[in-house]
Amino acid sequence: MTDPTRPSGPRPLPGQEGPPVQRAALALVGVVAVVAVSLAAVLARPALAQPTTGAPASTSASAVVATGHTTKVSVTITGMSFSPSSIDVPAGDDLQVTVLNHGDQRHDLVFANGTGTDTIAPGAQATVDVGVVGADLDGWCSLPGHRQMGMTLQVVAVGATATSHDAMPGHGAMADPMPGATAGATTVPTMADLARTAVGATPYPAALPPLDAATEHSYTFTVTEGVQDVATGLSRAVWTYNGTSPGPILHGRVGDTFHITLVNHGSMGHSIDFHAGELAPDVPMRTIDPGQQLDYTFTAGRSGIWMYHCSTMPMSQHIANGMFGAVVIEPADLETVDQQYVLIQSEQYLGADAQPADPVKVAAGIPDIVAFNGRAFQYDAHPLTAHVGDRVRIWVLDVGPNASLSFHVVGAQFDTVWTEGAYSVHRGAAADGLSSGSTGAQVLPLLAAQGGFVELVPTEAGHYAFVNHQMSLAEKGAHGVLEVTG
């Protein structure tokens, strides 16, 4: 088993570790290199700046006389909460908290005075010596997004003086500088800065991997956590399947079976949910601990461009940090075309440098960056290509976690639009059977987790921008260029 803290370079491509029936997936070769993932920066405790082991600190202990007595409390984690969520401690007592993790993923408990447990595996427990309690004290789980999901714990110092700093009414999580919380980036990069960074980055390969004759496909999806450069002097944590965000694009036909081995080389619990299959989620979509793996087999019964994503709570955080991808299952008798591309829109909510997404920004739903295939403006720097007269099919998926997509190509009209199981326009004819004459569409509208494809035939050479026509989102990076030559 590879030690996740000692990365050894690019991860195996999907299919490389599977049996011979797998697709060679040569088109994925470039995928490994595209996101500048520095695997050396595995973030075991990404949101916690202070060490939490070692000598306990006191909580305004100078304000009270130590009693020499120790209060011992057990706290149980279920779901995304601590029970009890409030602990009364006589002021001056030493406090020891034993945390029993009855949840389905790793958690910890840290306090505002810098003490805390290491991460605790499901079914395990840990004890933290909080020190002498002289004032009220906030505690929380420091895993990304967990505090905002409700994993908070309040220590109440009974008998503490009312003038104590930490005991002032209203002086709690909202007013504190929130040590251990993920601070937002102080400066959101400009369009120019994002575009400049995209020039120096290797683009995610947008070409749809070719279809082959196999009906059984085997892939290994290895989860790792790393860092991606975003702009000058700013990077973000990315959590990935096989080292890139998006993860690998899979391609098959209706009736194909996919055998996925999910391996968790991250520092926290992760999972995967393939929308392309129908099955009871309980077992295959379960969260697995670091070092564990699971088998997930599904048969693609229906055509579409289907999202896959990590479904470990909070899902908004795991998706915003990069854990998503697409499975393209072609409709029967889909016409061949000259070019096929895949564009996956996602949002980024920047935390502090090299940190995961800021959970407060994620909850507010206003992204700092919106990207096609994981990096803002990358196809402005490295355009997609076609020739005059080519029929170009663009598969589009919106993985969110929140925003919608009004997909438009400047200068083009779509003579074919297929979304969520149906054509609305097919080769210039309306699919409703009522509209007569030639028609078409200007956008493919998608809510989070919806997908489809459009086709266009550029008649002149030039630079056709493709955008999210919700223009504020295009200006945050959901923008690229199709370069058409004669």
Interface positions with Cu ion (CB under 5 A): 270, 310, 312, 318, 323
- Is the CB of 61 or the CB of 223 nearer to Cu ion? 223
Query: What is the closest distance, in whole angstroms, from the C-beta atom of residue 239 to Cu ion in the complex?
Result: 6
- Is the CB of 25 or the CB of 313 nearer to Cu ion? 313
Query: What is the closest distance, in whole angstroms, from the C-beta atom of residue 81 to Cu ion in the complex?
Result: 20
Which single residue is written with the structure tokens 């976690």?
A: 401
- Is the CB of 318 or the CB of 479 nearer to Cu ion? 318
- Is the CB of 59 or the CB of 316 nearer to Cu ion? 316
How many whole angstroms separate alpha carbon 238 and alpha carbon 289?
A: 18
Q: Which spans in 118-239 are helix H? A: 191-199
Question: Across the strands, what pairs with 371?
Answer: 346
- Is the CB of 308 or the CB of 407 nearer to Cu ion? 308
Name the DSSP letter for residue 15: T
- Is the CB of 141 or the CB of 198 nearer to Cu ion? 141
Query: What is the closest distance, in whole angstroms, from the C-beta atom of residue 305 to Cu ion in the complex?
Result: 21
Q: How far is CA 326 from CA 95, 305, 352, 393, in A?
A: 49, 6, 28, 16
Q: Are 312 and 270 spatial neighbours (Cβ–Cβ below 8 Å)?
A: yes
Q: Are 395 and 417 spatial neighbours (Cβ–Cβ below 8 Å)?
A: no
Please, which residues have CB within 8 angstroms of residue 192's CB and are 6 or more apart in sequence? none
Question: Across the strands, what pairs with 98?
Answer: 74, 127
How many whole angstroms separate alpha carbon 166 and alpha carbon 118?
A: 25
How many whole angstroms separate alpha carbon 351 and alpha carbon 349?
A: 7
Nearest Cα to Cα of residue 211 among 129, 286, 303: 303
Question: Strands 94-101, 70-78: parallel, antiparallel or unpaired by DSSP?
Answer: parallel
Nearest Cα to Cα of residue 266 among 315, 223, 204, 302: 223
- Is the CB of 268 or the CB of 412 nearer to Cu ion? 268
Nearest-CB residue for Cu ion: 310
Query: What is the closest distance, in whole angstroms, from the C-beta atom of residue 223 to Cu ion in the complex?
Result: 7
- Is the CB of 41 or the CB of 207 nearer to Cu ion? 41
The kind and range of the H/E element at 316 are helix 315-320
E-strand stretches of 367-460: 369-372, 384-387, 392-400, 405-409, 416-419, 422-426, 429-430, 444-446, 451-456
| 476 CB neighbour count, 10 Å cutoff | 25
Query: What is the closest distance, in whole angstroms, from the C-beta atom of residue 361 to Cu ion in the complex?
Result: 18
- Is the CB of 203 or the CB of 325 nearer to Cu ion? 325
Query: What is the closest distance, in whole angstroms, from the C-beta atom of residue 270 to Cu ion in the complex?
Result: 3
Amino acid at 419: T
Query: What is the closest distance, in whole angstroms, from the C-beta atom of residue 400 to Cu ion in the complex?
Result: 15
* Longest Cα–Cα distance in the chain: 88
- Is the CB of 273 or the CB of 330 nearer to Cu ion? 273
Nearest Cα to Cα of residue 143 among 175, 107, 92, 101: 107
Query: What is the closest distance, in whole angstroms, from the C-beta atom of residue 326 to Cu ion in the complex?
Result: 17
Query: What is the closest distance, in whole angstroms, from the C-beta atom of residue 323 to Cu ion in the complex?
Result: 5
- Is the CB of 43 or the CB of 133 nearer to Cu ion? 43
How many whole angstroms separate alpha carbon 302 and alpha carbon 280?
A: 17
Q: Are 95 and 139 spatial neighbours (Cβ–Cβ below 8 Å)?
A: no
Query: What is the closest distance, in whole angstroms, from the C-beta atom of residue 163 to Cu ion in the complex?
Result: 44
Question: Strands 86-90, 152-158: parallel, antiparallel or unpaired by DSSP?
Answer: parallel
Structure token pair of residue 381: 């720097």
- Is the CB of 25 or the CB of 323 nearer to Cu ion? 323
The DSSP result for 58-91, as a single string, is PBSGGGS---S-EEEEEEEEETTEEESSEEEEET
Query: What is the closest distance, in whole angstroms, from the C-beta atom of residue 247 to Cu ion in the complex?
Result: 11
Query: What is the closest distance, in whole angstroms, from the C-beta atom of residue 238 to Cu ion in the complex?
Result: 11
Question: Across the strands, what pairs with 394?
Answer: 341, 454
